[in-house]
């Protein structure tokens, strides 16, 4: 089995089981497969993966990003050794891979970007430059500290309304598959700003809290507004354009969580 074939099998199994991180892992595997996908699994080790590592470093990728790709490869190799079997005839099966090599991760000390919280002035520059749906999501993240994958996937079915008498607060019970570590459910509590945003978007979509639609059309008489659709990602072209115009070229969506 080649690395490319193993990656295909791994992603198909993840699709069948509804794995939440599947799109991320597909993105992380793609450059590895492009570089060394023709290698047999028993040929994979630090030396044969070095061309991939060197290529990603030359492209300016961080050590953390490269390590994430190597981590998915390591997980696939473990599956090939411990779970995946091949029929050798006479009712016998053997592991696809006899043993798993020890893959070396790149050091993170000195190579990992620290979070960069943004100031009130920077927020006032950035938010008006974002499309309305993305501006709401950014402000919601700033006021809840939620991870962007939680904000993108936030569902109305997760909402719990808590009545304190003089005011009502929304708490979202986040399933553990969307929580870092995936060990337990998480709870996202809305402050007054986050609550106001939730009320602004209530009723736009039956399932997702944050959705979007193209508001501008050429001819309002002939082209009705498109229906609202779930947002796929916060770090998109609109985000990158807005942060550039605001003079915040290195701003990550994750920095909002740390503000």
CATH number of the structural domain spanning residue 164: 1.10.443
The share of the chain scoring above pLDDT 70, in percent, equals: 94
Residue 215 has pLDDT above 70, yes or no: no
Residue 79 has pLDDT above 90, yes or no: yes
Residue 68 and residue 10 share a domain:
yes
Asked if the structure places residue 114 within a domain, the reply is no
Confidence band of 183 (pLDDT split at 50, 70, 90): confident
Residue 126 phi, psi dihedral angles, 5° rounding: -75, -50
Confidence band of 223 (pLDDT split at 50, 70, 90): low
Other Cβ atoms within 10 Å of 154 Cβ, number: 25
Mean pLDDT of 157-181: 90
Q: What is the mean pLDDT of the chain?
A: 91
Under 8 Å between Cβ of 255 and 138:
no
Residue 91 and residue 131 share a domain:
no
158 HSE (CA, 13 A, CB side): 22
Residue 207 has pLDDT above 90, yes or no: yes
pTM of the shown model: 0.66
Confidence band of 227 (pLDDT split at 50, 70, 90): confident
The pLDDT assigned to 225 comes to 63
Asked if the structure places residue 37 within a domain, the reply is yes
The pLDDT assigned to 222 comes to 56
The pLDDT assigned to 53 comes to 96
Under 8 Å between Cβ of 136 and 200:
yes
> In which domain, by residue range, is 187 found?
120-257
Least confident window among 78-87, 101-110, 210-219: 210-219
Structure tokens at 232: 């796929």
Confidence band of 26 (pLDDT split at 50, 70, 90): very high
Mean pLDDT of 120-138: 96
Residue 113 has pLDDT above 80, yes or no: no
Confidence band of 178 (pLDDT split at 50, 70, 90): confident
Residue 26 and residue 137 share a domain:
no
Residue 175 has pLDDT above 60, yes or no: yes
Least confident window among 21-30, 154-163, 187-196: 21-30
Asked if the structure places residue 180 within a domain, the reply is yes
**3-state secondary structure (DSSP) of residue 176:** helix
Residue 126 and residue 32 share a domain:
no
Q: Which residues of 86-115 are buried (b: 16+ CB within 10 A; e: fewer)?
A: eeeeeeeeeebbeebbeeeeeeeeeeeeee
Asked if the structure places residue 12 within a domain, the reply is yes
Confidence band of 217 (pLDDT split at 50, 70, 90): low
Residue 238 and residue 127 share a domain:
yes
In Å, what is the CA distance from 57 to each residue of 45, 68, 70, 105, 235?
18, 13, 13, 13, 22
Look up tokens 């709401």; give the residue.
136
Asked if the structure places residue 237 within a domain, the reply is yes
């Amino acid at each position: 089995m080649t690395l490319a074939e193993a990656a295909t099998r791994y992603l198909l199994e993840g699709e069948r089981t509804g794995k939440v991180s599947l799109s991320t892992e597909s993105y992380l595997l793609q450059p590895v497969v492009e570089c060394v996908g023709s290698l047999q699994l028993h040929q994979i080790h630090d030396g044969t993966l070095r061309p991939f590592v060197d290529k990603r470093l030359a492209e300016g990728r961080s050590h953390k990003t490269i390590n994430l790709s190597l981590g998915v490869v390591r997980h696939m190799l473990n599956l090939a050794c411990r779970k995946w079997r091949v029929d050798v005839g006479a009712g016998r099966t053997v592991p696809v891979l006899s043993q798993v090599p020890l893959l070396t991760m790149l050091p993170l000390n000195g190579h990992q970007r620290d979070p960069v919280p943004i100031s009130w002035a920077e927020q006032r520059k950035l938010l008006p430059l974002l499309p309305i749906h993305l501006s709401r999501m950014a402000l919601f993240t700033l006021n809840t500290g939620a991870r962007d994958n939680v904000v993108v996937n936030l569902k109305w079915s997760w909402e719990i309304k808590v009545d304190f008498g003089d005011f009502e607060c929304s708490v979202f019970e986040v399933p553990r598959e969307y929580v870092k570590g995936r060990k337990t459910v998480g709870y996202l509590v809305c402050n007054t700003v986050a609550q106001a945003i939730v009320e602004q978007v209530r009723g736009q979509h039956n399932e997702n809290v944050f959705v979007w639609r193209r508001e501008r059309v050429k001819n309002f008489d002939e082209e009705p507004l498109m229906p609202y659709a779930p947002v796929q990602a916060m770090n998109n072209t609109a985000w990158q354009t807005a942060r550039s115009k605001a003079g915040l070229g290195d701003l990550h969506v994750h920095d909002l969580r740390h503000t």
